[in-house]
Chains A and B, each alone.
Chain A
Amino acid sequence: MTIHIDRRRLIAGAAASLVGVTLGGRAAMASSWWDALGSAEALTRTAQRGLLAGAKLAPEFPESSLSPTFRANGSTDPREAAYKKLVQGHFADWRLEVGGLVDTPLRLSLNDLRALPSRTQITRHDCVEGWSCIGKWSGVPLGEVLKRAGLKSSAKFIVFYCADAFEQTLDGSGQYYESVDLVDAFHPQTLLAYDMNNAALTVPHGAPLRLRVERQLGYKMAKYLMKIEAVTGFEKIGGGNGGFWEDRGYQWYGGI
């Protein structure tokens, strides 16, 4: 029996390998079909990180394209007593804690944040549900704050802790939190935003401070920020997946 390899078979083999190696390989290493499906996330993140190299900016829009009504999603009026008290005091007693793997832990008031370099941008906010709104945001680039705190070399992720529990639970697992890696943390459009559409952030939109991560979906952009922590990994935080929604099955990488 002679082995006959023709051109088409060679291509067929190459084609099958392309599909097989990229997806099948990842899927086979996963421990369950659920993880196998989730393995596409790494492919998406790797592909997008490649395409976004060089800190490409999310599109910015002219003032004329602002949404007449910007929908507020997630918590829109946190019930926590501590937060209610801060609202009553117009956030005079609010402080943003910056800690974890940093050289200089910080406690910053709104005035401290407003005194730092600022950036204003008009961007499109894409909700994971499918809708979009355009808003104008002003705030401190997160990188400016992190530079002042000084990240230790072991810091790989920035975790954001919020004042709101989006799900009321006894064990506190319903507390909203999020995380980004250093690529997004130091992206020029990643802001700790205190103003929206030329006015101080309102409660539905996350007063007094919310995160903007313009190249990802809305659920990444935590509202009601209380604390920022630099960490090596987030396995031991919350449900271990890097965020409130991630603990409930959403992708950690929200660029798609």
Chain B
Amino acid sequence: MSHTPTALPAAANANDSGSYLFYRHRLVIRVTHWIGVISMAILLMSGLQIFNAHPALYFGAISDFEHPALLITTQEKDGHTIGVTKIGSVTFNTTGLLGLSAGGTDSHAFPSWSVLPSNQDLGGGRRWHFFFAWLLVLNGLAYLAYSLWTRHVQRDLIPTRAQLRTIGASIREHARLNFAHGEEARHYNVLQRLTYVLMLFIVIPLLILAGLTMSPGLDAAFPNLADLFGGRQTARTVHFICAFLVLGFVIVHVAMVVLSGTWNNMRSMITGWYAIQKEAVRHDDPHRS
């Protein structure tokens, strides 16, 4: 119990190599983070499985089968079959990834390596999806309650006014893969904060709400739910778009973890402890003061 954090994470374990460990992530944050990772991965893969049962998206209350907003299918071209993705009236050849993959042996919209279970199994996909949807929601509520109560959201995630003024500089530094060093690394920068707030309070809640709107039971319980989105099929499309926004976030997030110190970041999200270099403030960056 020696790691019990105080209101402000404490510095500890100074060593002679010029760095010290500081307690960055509390236990609840770490546990809910990894439950979230597992849930999201399974929800994405089982969601693609469900999508494969009817690989088309629409806007409005109903499906206008003749005019989907998005359609992933196969078509004949020059005497052989290709995989295509149609967005509105524009058709892209996506053979190898969408519509037709695995050397022409997999004609599902999303390839079998990306879906759960890996064979065509709508019922199985739904089983995985709804179990982990419940887990994601309960885990998310636990995370939110905890981080509002401990003021993690207010203190660490909401960007400060001063930070918002430096947004331009922050973008330039990220573009040069120039990450925070020393004491500065104890706090999330403005781009991190904006991204986390966008995901936690806008994209993921919208994703969940759009998912709930697809339930005929909940549409009866809350008759205006579907109207909020402009119809159930629009909600399904929003659900799909938000899922890919989360996937995009995850890709960038993992890239940032790797570029700014894979092991230090991983240790801090597993054990809580993050190494800070005791610098000698670096003067190699004129934008940093």
Contacts and interface: CB of A to CB of B under 8 A. Distances in A.
B177 interface: no
Given A18-B138, A130-B54, A37 B127 contact: yes
A28 B27 CA distance: 24
A59 B142 contact: no
B145 A11 contact: yes
Nearest to A245: B123
A163 to B, nearest CB: 24
Interface residues of A, number: 56
A130 B219 CA distance: 15
Interface stretch (A64-72, A84-92, A112-120, A174-182): A64-72
Interface string B121-136: 1111011101101110
A131 B51 CA distance: 10
A48 B4 contact: no
A65 B63 CA distance: 12
A132 B216 CA distance: 10
Interface stretch (B95-103, B184-192, B220-228, B242-250): B220-228
Interface in B194-237: 214-223, 226, 232-233, 236
B221 A48 contact: yes
B1 interface: yes
Interface stretch (A151-159, A202-210, A246-254): A246-254
Q: How large is the interface on B (under 10, 10 to 19, 20 to 34, 35 or more residues)?
A: 35 or more
A214 B220 contact: yes
A56 B222 CA distance: 9
Interface in A191-247: 214-217, 245
A134 B27 CA distance: 49
A11 B215 contact: no
Contact of A39 (B27, B131, B220): B131
A114 to B, nearest CB: 27
B220 A215 contact: yes
Given A19-B138, A40-B130, A256-B215, A58 B61 contact: no
Given A11-B149, A124-B62, A4 B4 contact: yes
Nearest to B232: A132
B146 A34 contact: no
A249 to B, nearest CB: 3
Contacts of B32: 15
B134 A56 contact: no
A37 B142 CA distance: 21
Given A22-B134, A134-B62, A52 B221 contact: yes
Contact of B145 (A15, A41, A58, A69): A15
The secondary-structure label for the interface of chain B is: helix
Contacts of A124: 61-62, 216, 219, 232
A219 to B, nearest CB: 10
B130 A214 contact: no
Nearest to B233: A132
Given A34-B127, A71-B65, A256-B215, A16 B31 contact: yes
Contacts of A41: 130
B278 interface: no
A126 B232 contact: yes
A215 B61 contact: no
Interface in A22-54: 22-23, 34, 36-41, 43-44, 48, 51-52
Contact of B216 (A19, A34, A255): A255
A40, A48, A249, A251: most-surrounded residue (chain B CB, <10 A): A40
B220 A57 contact: yes
B170 interface: no
B154 interface: no
Given A8-B150, A18-B142, A251 B218 contact: no
A129 interface: yes
A108 interface: no
Given A16-B31, A40-B130, A65-B61, A128 B146 contact: no
Contacts of B145: 11, 15
11 contacts: A11-B28, A12-B28, A16-B142, A19-B139, A34-B127, A48-B221, A58-B219, A65-B62, A71-B65, A214-B220, A256-B215
